[in-house]
């Protein structure tokens, strides 16, 4: 019996020739990433709970400050200081103020065929480059940090065969929200969401990131797009190696196969307070907004900023709306500066933030108040995600968010 992409990656990490769903394997990890959301807890356990603390391989560790940066209060400042000091003392790669953790991993580290654990649920993003990334808790992260190993129960794979191309004005964000709406927030629990077919290959590497990033919102262990020459080109342009470009075997076994014609996808939004409560943008009705957010690990790349700027150019943000833009990384920010996109945002009345998680995290920038409504390219919309428990978060594409910021209500065109 053949193997899926995910099974091949796990087999490589486990040093065996074959794995099957349901098996548990000890695996060697290629990278371990942790951000300021929980790293301080891992450091405390390392310092206070271990009899003989050691780090198995410092070169596989990456610490990134991105959730609350710059620090907004003394408590956060203490967390960041703890991370800085620990990273420096142990020779760990450390990034602060450089961007969102998954974007940095995407730009700097991830290679096809790798198995990567991150102390963040959206580590599944790395499947855009044909890697197996998955989120873990502090205890599992600590164990992997001191041993270099962990365990994985081989998940079953759901295959999403994509054909055709997205129509103008429709984006990968609309596609993945549509899929989540179809299968439900629990539709891929502890499964791999594998995206393949000519439709997947028509998508850019940045577009694929959007699909894999939100796979966890359907409960998936990870999301993976079948790698191709676009991935190979991206990897080589970033000075890395594309040695393990795994694709599923023709006789690989999938739990279920879904078929999607990209030309039939339409703009959608996810309504509060569930990411799978997805409806057509045309059905939203008259929903006034207080804030719009463009950014996050899902939609803060240059493609998204270009789309937003093309809609915003020559227009103004609605006087009752706060439009917050946060590029996913400093590299994205600099490119947007070079292309004049930041000028367009500023002239229109948007507020451009430093590269960080910003509003998506709902903790340090653009927090929304009691009864306020946000339209966001963030990753989640559960109750209280972006501020007050009585606030409302809608999820949409960069185009939908920008058009809404201009109109003062959720819409797709202005």
For residue 341, what is the domain's CATH number? Answer: 3.30.499.10
Structure tokens at 62: 């990456």
Report d(CA 133, CA 316) in Å as an integer: 40
pLDDT in tens, 6-24: 999 999 999 999 999 999 9
Residue 344 domain flag: yes
Q: Which domain holds residue 380?
A: 268-407
Q: Is the pLDDT of residue 324 over 90?
A: yes
State mean pLDDT over 275-283.
96
Residue 412 domain flag: no
- Number of Cβ atoms within 10 Å of the Cβ of 68: 23
227, 246, 262 — which closes off a domain?
A: 262
**Same domain flag for 290 and 176:** no
352 three-state secondary structure: strand
Question: Residue 301 in contact with residue 328, Cβ under 8 Å?
Answer: yes
Whole-structure pTM value: 0.95
Q: Is the pLDDT of residue 82 over 90?
A: yes
Per the document, the length of the chain is: 414
The mean of the pLDDT values for the chain is: 96
Residue 86 domain flag: yes
Check residues 23 and 386 and name the one with the higher pLDDT.
23
231, 262, 293 — which closes off a domain?
A: 262
Confidence grade of residue 30 (pLDDT, cut at 50, 70, 90): very high
Report d(CA 405, CA 234) in Å as an integer: 33
**Same domain flag for 253 and 330:** no
pLDDT in tens, 182-225: 999 999 999 999 999 999 999 999 999 999 999 999 999 999 99
pLDDT in tens, 235-267: 999 999 999 999 999 999 999 999 999 999 999
**Same domain flag for 227 and 297:** no
Q: Is the pLDDT of residue 336 over 90?
A: yes
What does residue 112 show for φ and ψ, rounded to 5 degrees?
A: -60, 145
**Same domain flag for 240 and 303:** no
**Same domain flag for 222 and 310:** no
Look up residue 122 and give its DSSP letter: G
Domain count, the chain: 2
Report d(CA 182, CA 277) in Å as an integer: 9
**Same domain flag for 37 and 186:** yes
262, 279, 296 — which closes off a domain?
A: 262
Q: How far apart are the first and last CA of the chain?
A: 53
Residue with tokens 């920038």: 365
Q: Is 91 left (phi over 0), alpha (psi -120 to 50) or beta?
A: left
116 three-state secondary structure: strand
Residue 115 β-bridge partners: 132
Residue with tokens 């917050």: 324
**Same domain flag for 253 and 371:** no
């Amino acid at each position: 019996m053949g193997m899926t992409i995910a099974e091949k990656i796990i087999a490589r990490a486990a040093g065996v020739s074959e794995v099957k769903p349901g098996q548990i394997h000890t695996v060697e990890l290629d990278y371990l990433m942790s951000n300021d959301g929980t790293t301080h807890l891992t450091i405390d356990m390392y310092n206070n709970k271990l009899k003989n603390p050691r780090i198995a391989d410092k070169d596989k560790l990456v610490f990134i400050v991105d959730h609350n940066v710059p620090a907004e209060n003394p408590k956060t400042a203490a967390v960041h200081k703890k991370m800085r000091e620990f990273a420096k003392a142990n020779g760990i790669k450390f990034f602060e103020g450089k961007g969102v953790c998954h974007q940095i991993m995407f730009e700097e580290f991830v290679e096809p065929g790798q198995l990567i654990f991150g102390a963040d649920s959206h580590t599944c993003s790395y499947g855009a480059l044909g890697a197996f990334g998955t989120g873990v808790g502090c205890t599992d992260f600590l164990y992997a940090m001191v041993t270099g190993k962990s365990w994985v129960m081989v998940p079953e794979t759901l295959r999403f065969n994509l054909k055709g191309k997205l129509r103008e004005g429709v984006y990968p964000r609309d596609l993945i929200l549509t899929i989540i709406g179809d299968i439900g927030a629990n539709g891929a629990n502890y499964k791999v969401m594998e995206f393949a077919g000519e439709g997947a290959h028509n998508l850019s590497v940045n577009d694929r990131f959007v699909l894999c990033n939100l796979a966890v919102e359907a409960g998936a262990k990870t999301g993976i797009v079948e790698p191709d020459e676009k991935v190979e080109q991206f990897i080589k342009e970033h000075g890395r190696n594309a040695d393990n470009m795994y694709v599923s075997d023709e006789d690989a076994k999938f739990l279920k196969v879904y078929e999607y014609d990209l030309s039939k996808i339409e703009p959608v939004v996810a309504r509060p307070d569930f990411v799978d409560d997805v409806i057509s943008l045309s059905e939203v009705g008259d929903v006034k907004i207080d804030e719009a957010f463009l950014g996050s690990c899902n939609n803060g790349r240059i493609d998204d900023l270009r789309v937003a700027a093309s809609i915003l150019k020559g227009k103004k943000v609605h006087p009752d709306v706060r439009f917050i833009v946060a590029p996913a990384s400093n590299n994205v920010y600099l490119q947007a500066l070079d292309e004049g996109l930041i000028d367009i945002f500023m002239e229109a009345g948007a507020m451009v933030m430093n590269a960080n998680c910003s509003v998506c995290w709902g903790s340090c920038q653009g927090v929304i108040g009691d009864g306020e409504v946000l339209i966001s390219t963030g990753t989640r919309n559960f109750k209280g995600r972006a501020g007050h428990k009585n606030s409302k978060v809608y999820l949409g594409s960069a185009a939908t968010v920008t058009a809404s910021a201009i109109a003062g209500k959720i819409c797709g065109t202005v």
